[in-house]
């Protein structure tokens, strides 16, 4: 079983590469954002709980997010593996994910980080914002704030997964095909 964490700042191409990896290796793609939206929209007990935190302007506790992810993993008992997209974002979340996977005799196989210069990402996101209408992709200040948040909270995970020998940096500024080829080589060796 291959369980992969896909990292990268907003606009790095995680969604595009997740689709490629999902299809190439028959993996289940778990986007934390999609899981949250599903649970909130369908008013599941976890969704109601998460929405209450969010409505108060609070972060959803890691335990709630992990329970949602556990539910997603449980839906696919015969999966060849999973792509975790958008989680973990902090060391404590990484530890919680490791604990959850371990109790199910699973482990993270690799962390794949799409690395792209922030100025390139700003241009990508502003362009995407014109097409998608996403407000958070139309304001450079908001975009750079998201990068600062990533650098402060998520970047420390590089050391966390490097210490486990599971961190792989990939130049995400190249063509989609070149990135996919490098990712395939990494995943094939797991």
Q: What pLDDT, on the 0 to 100 scale, is given for residue 52? A: 87
Confidence of residue 189 (pLDDT cuts 50, 70, 90): very high
| CB neighbour list of residue 25: distance below 8 Å, 6 or more residues apart | 2, 80, 81, 187
* Arithmetic mean of pLDDT, 15-33: 92
Q: What pLDDT, on the 0 to 100 scale, is given for residue 19? A: 92
| CB neighbour list of residue 92: distance below 8 Å, 6 or more residues apart | 62
CA 171/CA 113 separation, integer angstroms? 8
66-101 burial, b if ≥16 CB within 10 A, otherwise e?
bbbbbebbeeeeebebbbbbbbbbbeebbebbbeeb
Domain spanning 2-184, CATH class: alpha beta
The tokens for 148 are 């600062």
* Segment among 25-29, 52-56, 110-114, 168-172 with least mean pLDDT: 52-56
Q: What pLDDT, on the 0 to 100 scale, is given for residue 146? A: 85
pLDDT-above-90 percentage for the chain: 54
- Residue ranges of the domains in the chain? 2-184
Q: What pLDDT, on the 0 to 100 scale, is given for residue 18? A: 93
* Arithmetic mean of pLDDT, 120-149: 84
pTM of this prediction?
0.85
For residue range 78-93, list pLDDT tens digits in order.
999 999 988 898 898 9
Other residues' Cβ atoms within 10 Å of the Cβ of residue 161 = 20
φ and ψ of 85, to 5 deg: -120, 115
Give the residue numbers marked as catalytic.
Answer: 14, 89, 128, 134, 146
* Segment among 13-17, 48-52, 58-62, 131-135 with least mean pLDDT: 131-135
């Amino acid at each position: 079983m291959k369980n992969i964490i896909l990292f990268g700042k907003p606009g790095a191409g995680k969604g595009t590469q997740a689709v490629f990896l999902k299809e190439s290796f028959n993996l289940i793609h778990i986007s934390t954002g999609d899981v949250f939206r599903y649970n909130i929209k369908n008013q599941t007990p976890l969704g109601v709980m998460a929405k209450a935190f969010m409505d108060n302007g609070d972060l959803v506790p890691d335990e709630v997010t992990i329970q949602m992810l556990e539910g997603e993993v449980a839906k696919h008992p015969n999966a060849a593996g999973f792509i975790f997209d958008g989680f973990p974002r902090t060391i404590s979340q990484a530890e919680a994910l490791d604990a959850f996977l371990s109790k199910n005799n699973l482990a993270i196989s690799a962390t794949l980080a799409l690395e792209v210069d922030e100025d390139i990402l700003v241009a990508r996101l502003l362009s995407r914002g014109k097409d998608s209408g996403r407000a958070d992709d139309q304001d450079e200040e908001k975009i750079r704030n998201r990068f600062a948040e990533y650098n402060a909270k998520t970047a420390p995970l590089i050391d966390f997964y490097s210490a486990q020998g599971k961190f792989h940096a990939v130049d995400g500024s190249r063509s989609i095909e070149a990135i996919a080829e490098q990712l395939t080589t990494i995943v094939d060796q797991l």
